[in-house]
Amino acid sequence: AQSVTQLGSHVSVSEGALVLLRCNYSSSVPPYLFWYVQYPNQGLQLLLKYTSAATLVKGINGFEAEFKKSETSFHLTKPSAHMSDAAEYFCAVSDRGADTGRRALTFGSGTRLQVQP
Amino acid sequence: ETGVTQTPRHLVMGMTNKKSLKCEQHLGHNAMYWYKQSAKKPLELMFVYSLEERVENNSVPSRFSPECPNSSHLFLHLHTLQPEDSALYLCASSQLGTFGETQYFGPGTRLLVL
């Protein structure tokens, strides 16, 4: 079974500061990994995904994440936070080798990012 | 319309009511999903439909009844719900078998059961 752990349910940074949101996963096979963002009263929007090509993945809005197999991590970073980045962020894993039903995403519990002016 | 749409966006219902949530995807995908997002709990997969056939029912109570009449539409029929069923219900779709298969989500239906 696969699982995702997001360390820190709330993260607060100052505008212009580095954003680091942590995600660790467990999976018996090489996974697909995703970061989604959810703004208030909206659905989930894909930020970026890892599919086994480059280990450093660039996404939208200046975000990127690095896949580290040895650490089973897929942390999300952004060099300089903007007020509009305030939202909830979800890390998710899917088992690329599984049957259709099992390929559904397993989500972490989410990290709420606050950006202080 | 583009992407994944859901209606209604908000729904208030009593425990004896029957209502339905609708999801429509405009992406040409062949798999659709229902997720439940409750406060203080991770997103939970409820149902998966692949090529209009249900392939996953994640121990969901029978008061939730999904229906997938074609590859573009997905419904969630609700009856005799409980207050603890109040949550955001999210629909998603994906194209099976694609490399890096990605799920795309709708905006959700915020459900309140009184």
Share of chain B above pLDDT 90, in %: 68
pLDDT band at residue A103 under the 50/70/90 scheme: low
Provide DSSP, B41-95: S--EEEEEEETTEEEEE-S--TTEEEEEEETTEEEEEEES--GGG-EEEEEEEE-
Among B97, B105, B86, B99, CA closest to B14: B86
Share of chain A above pLDDT 70, in %: 93
Res B2: pLDDT: 76
Q: Is B17 helix (H, G, I), strand (E, B) or coil?
A: coil
pLDDT of B96 over the 90 cut: no
In angstroms, the CA B76 to CA B97 distance is: 25
Tokens (6 digits) for B88 = 């955001």
Could you tell me if A101 lies within 8 Å of chain B, comparing CB atoms?
yes
Average pLDDT over chain A reads 90
pLDDT band at residue B40 under the 50/70/90 scheme: confident
Q: Do A46 and B42 make contact, defined as CB atoms within 8 angstroms?
A: no
In the DSSP assignment, the letter for residue A98 is S
Task: Give the mean model confidence (pLDDT) for residues A58-83.
Answer: 95
Q: How far is A101 from chain B (nearest CA, A)?
A: 5
Q: Do A102 and B99 make contact, defined as CB atoms within 8 angstroms?
A: no
Residues in chain B with CB shorter than 8 Å from the CB of A57 are none
Contact present, A6 and A22 (Cβ < 8 Å): yes
Q: Do B90 and A43 make contact, defined as CB atoms within 8 angstroms?
A: yes
